[in-house]
Amino acid sequence: DPKSYVYIDLEADNKQIRFTSKNNQPVLKNNISAKRMGIGIKNVKRRLFLYYGDSYSIDILDCTDHFKVELLIRL
C-alpha cells in the first residue's frame, strides 16, 4: 500500500482567499463506495453557493492517483 498524503495551501489578502488541497486517492475494494462519495461534493457546492453566491469558484480534479481541489473566494 502506498503511503497516504495531504498537501494544503492557503493564501489570503484583502481581495480573496485561495485554498488548495491535494491528496492521494484511497484504494477502494468496491465501486459502490466510490460512487456514493459524490454526494459530499454536491453538498459542499450547494453550501458554498448559499454562503458566497457568485463570489467563489471551485475546481475539482479527480484523477486515478490523486484528488485536487482549488477554491477561490472573492471578498
Q: Give the tens place of pLDDT for each residue, 2-53.
A: 688 999 999 999 999 999 999 998 766 555 555 555 688 899 999 999 999 9
**C-alpha cell read off for 11:** 493564501
- List CB contacts of 58: < 8 A, sequence separation 6 or more: 44, 45, 48, 69, 70, 71, 72
**What does the pLDDT read at residue 61?**
92
State in Å, rounded, how far the first CA of the chain is from the last one.
42
DSSP labels, 1-54? -PPP-EEEEEEE-SSEEEEEEEEEPP--SSHHHHHHTHHHHHHHHHHHHHHHTT
